[in-house]
Structure 1
């Protein structure tokens, strides 16, 4: 959807820019001629997305025909700029360079051999066109390289986070096995010792009441120590109840935003209120929402800056991620947003995602803090 909008913008710029550019560069200013060329080239631009090479060839043919008819003078290549950019974006860099080189060569031949202008005049006019075309191709190539680099960084970031999750889950599974073993040993040992002391107390209850009381006291001491050990083991098991995935704390967000900033998108982390004791499931959900939102920003939004805001309240934690890109919901939600919404809903919270109030894209989640 974004690419379709960009094509329409390029067509609009071509429609308005061709007459204005011809007037500025000393070309034909007849409204009928310039209007016809502008409408024709704008229509061709609309076909760039589906037929990039054909649109490029037709556009160049049109401007060369106008040049041969002496309807344009200097600046005769630039009306086909959108077609060159479209071919580059579609991955047809070689076509764009080859067609541009042939067009420039034709321009030199026309000025020098056909129009019989001086060599210096022909080289100067073609040189100006060559500089413009080279600048357009270079800027487009730089933009595409930057986007590829950001996508690669986003992919590496996602892969790194996945590997961290797998490693954390493995460690958590090993930890649970250890806890289960310790729990079994503690319960078995405690029951055995308590059983021995209770048997002693039962045997000595009538004949030696003092010994029976001592045995009961020892059983109570063992029971107290066992309860302490069991509580510690249960606390480990309840770090993130209901799931085997690793629990992330809110302090991990700084490292996450730092990784995204390395991908070329400046990320600002803002915390409002005092950070309270947020339960592990809520902290993990906040981490996941921020992680998925920033990953989508790097991969799809074309943003330069994003802001992550955390608002702590006694009853809830609210997280909002806003970027200045052009991303938005188009049709059905993606798996990432659906996953975030389900995760937040499982904790009794709500999540909304869509266009921000000042443009860009916004994800906002509010999760209740249960005590």
Structure 2
């Protein structure tokens, strides 16, 4: 998992406000200029934390230690660098962050106890509070990272499942085309050959044996009728079979999709209006694919906690809407996923829109006419 792109700016803003506020609350604001300076400096360091998280933590901790040891601030050994500790944990180096925090607090304990010679209650109270704060921050960062990694894994499985289903569908279509070509060859070649033979017999016997000519023409007509029935069956396969999908790629597969997303820690609500049984197979398949791709984008890009899937069945159309409460990023719209959804919906005569919702989050909405 990579750190979010917005993390440096959020961390810088929180540090810029939080460090002066924390020093004021804890009585560590000895000089306004020095308090403002350390706040600005630590905030500036956070702007490069995505690239050098460990370096930022080391420089931040050394800055706080230097300011505190020089009596430029009167409280805090580790907590002013809270954002740097959290960023390192988000980068997957939790153990390093814990070690750095322990060393920092150990140095603070030695300084307060032996250099400043504060009483033990003050030393243990301040450092104990910092230790608890740091532990809570690192635990929260680690939990968030684990959740995002799990969601990324679920998104990857969804994408792999979609890819495998597409490959299987392509294989089945190729097999169908080979079978149809073979059937067409058999039907057309055989029919033309038999009809040609009977027409030749009828032509030869037309003057001398008219009854035999009639029998030959009658047989040719019978063969032609059977061939027309066979060709009609093949045309039906071409019209309907070219959209054959894997069994899971239908409305009955939506429950499995939502279960996978719920397993990623996202609350999923599915609302169905109307009669599902009246939806034809091609439209049901398209609805399934729209929901699948939208949920994949939600898990991977949206940083959402809740997503709502609404299916509205009417005699004339099916409308599917997937809305999450995430950051409203349009990352998914730039790739092939939403483009593929739009093409699939358009092939059935429908329309698809995707973008940030009016109340935040991201919304994918598709309308597919049932008649198409």
TM-score range, shorter chain: 0.7 to 0.9
Give a deviation string over 1:74-121, Cα, whole Å, max 9, x none.
Answer: x54222111111222234445423321221111111122212345665
1:169-212: CA deviations, max 9, x gaps? 22332233223223322333444454555566667767777776
1:353 alignment counterpart: 354
Relative distance call for 1:262 and 1:4 in structure 2 (3 A) is closer
Which residue of the partner structure matches residue 67 of structure 1? 68
Q: Contact 1:279/1:369 (CA < 8 Å) preserved in 2?
A: no
CA contact (8 A) 2:168 2:246 kept: no
Q: Secondary structure at the match of 2:29?
A: coil
CA deviations 1:240-271 (Å, max 9, x no partner) are 65x89869444433333333333333333333
**In structure 2, the residue corresponding to 1:310 is in which secondary structure?**
strand
Which residue matches 1:49?
50
Give the structure 2 partner of residue 58 of structure 1: 59
Q: Quote the residue 1:302 is aligned against.
A: 303
**2:170 counterpart of 1:173:** no
1:97-116 superposed matches below 5 A: 97-116=98-117
Give matches, 1:281-320, under 5 Å: 282-320=283-321
Q: Partners in 2 of 1:152 and 1:268 — Cα distance?
A: 21
Residues 154 and 260 of structure 2 are in contact (CA less than 8 Å); yes or no, is this contact kept in structure 1? no
Is 2:248 aligned against 1:231? no
CA contact (8 A) 2:319 2:365 kept: yes
User: SS state of the match for residue 50, structure 2?
Assistant: coil
For each residue in 1:115-148, what CA deviation from the matched residue of structure 2 results, as whole angstroms up to 9, or x when unmatched? Answer: 2345665445433322221221122112112211
Q: Hey, what's the Cα distance between the residues in 2 that align with 1:331 and 1:264?
A: 20
- The answer to whether the Cα contact below 8 Å between 2:147 and 2:264 also exists between their aligned partners in 1 is no
Q: TM-score, normalization: structure 2? A: 0.81
Residue equivalent to 2:147 = 146
Number of the residue aligned with 1:266: 267
**Aligned-residue RMSD, C-alpha:** 3.5
Aligned partners of 1:9, 1:264: CA distance in 2, in Å?
23
Distance 2:334 2:209 in 1: 76
* Aligned residues of 1:172 and 1:246 also touching (Cα < 8 A): no
Report the CA distance shift for 1:228/1:255 in structure 2 as closer, same or farther (over 3 A): farther
Residues 190 and 258 (structure 1), Cα distance of their counterparts in 2 relative to 1, 3 Å cut: farther
Q: What's 1:164 paired with?
A: 165
Equivalent position SS for 1:184: helix
1:21 alignment counterpart: 22
Q: Is 2:55 aligned against 1:81? A: no
CA–CA distance in 1 between the matches of 2:167 and 2:46?
47
Checking the alignment, whether the CA contact within 8 Å between 1:300 and 1:327 is kept in structure 2 is no
> Is contact 2:31–2:72 with CA below 8 Å preserved after alignment?
no
Shift of the 100–16 alpha-carbon distance from structure 1 to 2, 3 Å rule, reads same
Per the TM alignment, residue 164 of structure 1 is displaced from its structure 2 partner at its CA by 3.0
Q: Tell me, in whole angstroms, the C-alpha distance in 1 between the residues paired with 2:335 and 2:355.
A: 12
CA distance in 1, matches of 2:262, 2:226: 49
Cα 1:175–1:293, aligned 2, differ >3 Å: closer, same or farther? Answer: same
Distance change >3 Å, CA 71–CA 274, structure 1 → 2: same
Kept in 1, the 8 Å contact 2:28–2:74? The answer is yes
1:218-243 Cα deviation digits (max 9, x unpaired): 554444443333322222222265x8
